[in-house]
Amino acid sequence: MLGYLARRVLLLGLMLFGLACITFVISHVAPGDPARLAAGPDATASMVERIRAEYGLDRPLPIQFGQYLRGVLSGDLGRSLRTREAVAADLARYFPNTFELVTGAMLLAVGLGVPLGILSAVYRDTWVDQITRVVSVSGIAIPAFWAGLMLQLLLALHMGILPLGGRLGLMTAPPTPVTHLLVVDALLGGHWRVLGDALAHAVLPTVTLCFPALASIVRVNRAEMLETLKQDYIVNARAQGVSELRIVARYALKNAMIPTLAMIGLRYGWMLGGTVLVETVFDWPGIGLYAVASAVSSDFQPIMGVTLVIGLNFMLANFLVDLAYGWLDPRVRSTMSA
Amino acid sequence: MRVLVTAVLAVLVAAAPAPGFERAGDRKILVFAGRQEVPTIDPSVKYDWSIRMAQQSLYDALVKYVGNPPEIVPWLAEKWESSPDARTWTFHLVKNARFHNGDPVTAEAVRFSFARTLKLNQGPAWTLSEFLKDDDIKVVNEHTIQFTLNQSYSPFLSWLPWWYVMNPKQVLANEQGGDLGQKWLTTNAAGSGPFRIKRWEQGVLYELEALDNYWKGWPSKDHIGGVIYRIVRESAAQRAAVIRGEADIVEGLSSDDFDQVAKMPGIVVPTFPGMTTFGIKMNTQKGATKDLNLRKAVCHAFDYDALIKIYNGNAVLQTSPFPNATRGYVPVSGIYRQDLGKAKEFLSKSAYPNGGIELEYVYVQGLEEERKMGLVLIDNLQKLNITVKMVPLIWPNMVGRGAKVETSPDMMAVFTTPLSSDPDAVAFQYHKGSFGKYYASHFYTNDAVWALIDRARTTARWEERAPLYADIQRRITADAPEIFGMLANRRWAMRDHVKGFVFSPVRFTGEVDLYPLAIVAK
């Protein structure tokens, strides 16, 4: 098991190095002059050169890359030309918001998607199944930004029951940061008004982000449940008079959850990097918005920082899914040990 | 369970519809929903409309632009005089101005601020760095400062509203590694302006608090008690925010949205002619557009009225390379208008008498108005047997392409806002000194015009300058370095309890002077 873990960590490092190389090359071959943009539209040539020198953009690319890698290893992801702050500090400010949003959306998607998938399979071809399938197809077919705008229009503008966007109300002071996760910090501090405000602001983006994931979970879980419920051991259990509830909950679900879990893990990693549209529509101050603002400014250090963070999260999610496989499936566990 | 119930109740309370403006005790807090962040407020480092709106609120300058047409009025300087050759400028400061920490605003603070900006060589430094060195700024006494320029420079005064005065003590106390306080001043202020920082949540919102004892006083007893500048990136969300009363002012809506919200109760849409020109710059040094006759053919083929239609009538056509509000502006007779006969005549004189060429039109990706203008170009130039290839690019890439003759596209859609009302601010865009900047992507070259521009900016008397600028406008028009397009109106959507709005065309697109604003409501 330890050998397996060591191999995976080594592979993770290699993949991150590869990701850093690719991102660096793409950022630097893209047209545009970040120094000119940072210097401002009216800047003279000497002003642009000054910025270029200040940020080390006048050095040969291999040297810049070497410096970047050395920085990454010591936790320094460079400095943003746009915000003039350390990228690591910017990411530390924005990432918790994205983490909260994605985690909330995924919890909602799993909480609703798994039971709906089971119901859909158990009551196959009934009205329950039909409705669930419509929901799941819609979730995949409707673009997130459109769904977000429609929800915003309906629930915020016309009905006025939820805020339009943002992370907190304008006059709400955030609680003292402990975990930097707003909901958790409000809970820990017992700031109920802040908690309510934070949750109210989170409803629309969470639902919007959750919808596609929910649809995928329902579809995969339904398909796996249908397949599992046809297996011989289930038929055998039924023949022995085991109750249907026990068959579904105890014997079928565990096996059906293996592919669903893999999908959840991948989806979670993907969602951490795929919040751009939802964050933009709802002005959710996360790394998606940070990445967009950096990309339109050709500010490549933050773009590389965001890519590395998203890549790392994606890999970690995969890693955890692999471990969960082992927990669910003894055959996989024995492979890991070998 | 108890926690869950409490949370649900709290959500319902928090989600109640928002009132108009916010209140903090007795203070009425104006909410401005803008799309653009304020990445720094260091007056020596950077400016754009959102940055400058914050800088103007936190800092004061020697003088200030007010009104329409823009007028330079005394601010930290109560009076000034210049030598007959416009080389020596002496400013006498008011004696009651105070920085936010209570320190007096002195001539030494002014000297320090100018020297800092010149040394950092960023932000507004380019406006004066050619003429002013820090050694030539002399503190005459505690309240008098003198600038001696290395040559006559008439536009000097016109740039000063953007040279804000910082408190040297605060700046130096927060210096890190000889950075002249740059890191600290990114999110902190050391000014004497009517507002001070209350909250600064980068990329989310910025809250300023009005100073009750602002040294210059307030123009209205109902003046706003503070401002929350909130980032709302989506136009649809901005629109919804002002309709719902979650924002008091929004900027940057589409023409259709502005027209729509203007009809709604409780919302007003002030509309003013702006100074921002829209032009389609043509590369005058490379490719087919190097040919003067081809450029003239393109200028005559273009449907100018379509520009106005794209803006739902909220724009006026340019009648000169200079915006109408620029000092010394003259309407140029014979400015290009659509005339297919003339277009074909010029084409026949060009190196491409039968057309048969393709011209590239580069515009900002996602900017719907510029895309529509490209479609108009395609339609218009088809009649000359010229095809147009539309290339959407993100702004940094456009700037990158427009910086060099070799890469500058045949045609590039550009909005340009002059930084001052002095004609030099526009004329110099056609000078070789502007090559490399986005608005000079035409690489316009005319030695005689350059000489006129140099002469006009160093001539002291306006009576002598004015005819030079009239000549410059006519000559530039004749050389057709761009399709001189239109001046879009500046518009904001505001809740009707917002009073005191003062428009000045020299401010940037979404920028509002927050100082005179008041909220008059129950």
Segments making up each domain of chain A, as ranges: 2-73, 87-337
Q: Which one-letter DSSP state was computed for residue B381?
A: H
Distance CA B489, CA B504 (A): 12
Q: Are residues B323 and B261 in the same domain?
A: no
In a domain? residue B419? yes
> Can you give the pTM of this predicted structure?
0.85
Q: Are residues B484 and B518 in the same domain?
A: no
Q: Are residues B297 and B356 in the same domain?
A: yes
In a domain? residue B9? no
CA distance B330 to chain A (A): 25
Closest CA in chain B for residue A279: B233
In a domain? residue B387? yes
Q: Are residues B282 and B307 in the same domain?
A: yes
Does A296 contact chain B (CB < 8 Å)?
yes
- Given B186, B230, B396, which is nearest A166 (Cβ)? B230
**Residue B262 vs residues A225, B164, B495, B497: alpha-carbon distances, Å:** 56, 35, 10, 14
Contact B39 A94 (CB under 8 A): no
Q: Are residues B379 and B430 in the same domain?
A: yes
Q: Are residues B331 and B378 in the same domain?
A: yes
> Residue B166: its pLDDT value, please?
98
Give pLDDT tens digits for B178-194. Answer: 999 999 999 999 999 99
In a domain? residue B182? no
Q: Are residues B300 and B239 in the same domain?
A: no
Q: At what angle do helices B235-244 and B255-262 cross, to 10 degrees?
A: 10
Distance CA B205, CA B264 (A): 27
Q: Are residues B198 and B136 in the same domain?
A: no
Architecture of domain A87-337: Orthogonal Bundle (1.10)
**In 3-state terms, what secondary structure has residue B9?**
helix
Contact status, residue B301 vs residue B383, Cβ threshold 8 Å:
yes
Q: Which domain CATH number covers B289?
A: 3.10.105.10
In a domain? residue B210? yes
In a domain? residue B186? no
Q: Are residues B293 and B411 in the same domain?
A: yes
Q: B-contacting residues of A 51-90, CB under 8 Å?
A: 51, 82-85, 90
Distance CA B401, CA B398 (A): 5
Contact B233 A195 (CB under 8 A): no
Of B176, B201, B230, which residue is a domain's last?
A: B176
Chain A / chain B CB contacts < 8 angstroms:
172
- Of the ranges A326-335, B105-114, B499-508, which is most confident? B105-114
Which positions in chain A touch B401 (Cβ < 8 Å)? 31
Contact B14 A163 (CB under 8 A): yes
> Residue B11: its pLDDT value, please?
46
Give pLDDT tens digits for B204-254. Answer: 899 999 999 999 999 999 999 999 999 998 888 899 899 988 899 999 898
Closest CA in chain A for residue B21: A170
Domains identified in chain B, total number: 3
Contact status, residue B300 vs residue B249, Cβ threshold 8 Å:
no
**In 3-state terms, what secondary structure has residue B516?**
coil
Contact status, residue B194 vs residue B57, Cβ threshold 8 Å:
yes
- Owning domain of residue B92: 60-176
Q: B60 burial class (0-12, 13-18, 19+ CB within 10 angstroms)?
A: buried
CA distance A328 to chain B (A): 31
In a domain? residue B322? yes
- What is the CA angle B419-B421-B422, rounded to 5? 100
Which phi and psi (to 5°) does residue B27 adopt? -80, 140
Q: A-contacting residues of B 177-206, CB under 8 Å?
A: 182-183, 186, 201-205
Per-residue pLDDT of chain A (338 residues; tens, 9 = 90+): 677 778 878 888 888 888 888 888 887 777 677 887 788 878 888 888 888 888 888 888 889 889 888 888 888 888 888 888 899 999 999 999 999 999 999 999 999 999 999 999 989 889 989 998 888 888 888 888 888 989 988 998 888 889 888 888 887 888 888 888 989 999 998 999 999 999 999 999 999 999 999 999 999 999 999 999 888 988 898 888 888 888 888 888 888 888 888 888 888 888 887 788 899 889 999 999 899 888 877 788 899 899 888 888 888 888 887 777 777 777 766 666 65
Give pLDDT tens digits for A227-243. Answer: 998 889 888 988 888 88
> Residue B9: its pLDDT value, please?
42
Q: Are residues B311 and B431 in the same domain?
A: yes
Contact B400 A285 (CB under 8 A): no
Q: Are residues B68 and B51 in the same domain?
A: no
Q: Are residues B94 and B219 in the same domain?
A: no
In a domain? residue B457? yes
Cross-strand partners of A79: A86
**In 3-state terms, what secondary structure has residue B226?**
strand
> Residue B14: its pLDDT value, please?
44
Does A44 contact chain B (CB < 8 Å)?
yes
Q: Which domain CATH number covers B99?
A: 3.40.190.10
CA distance A62 to chain B (A): 22
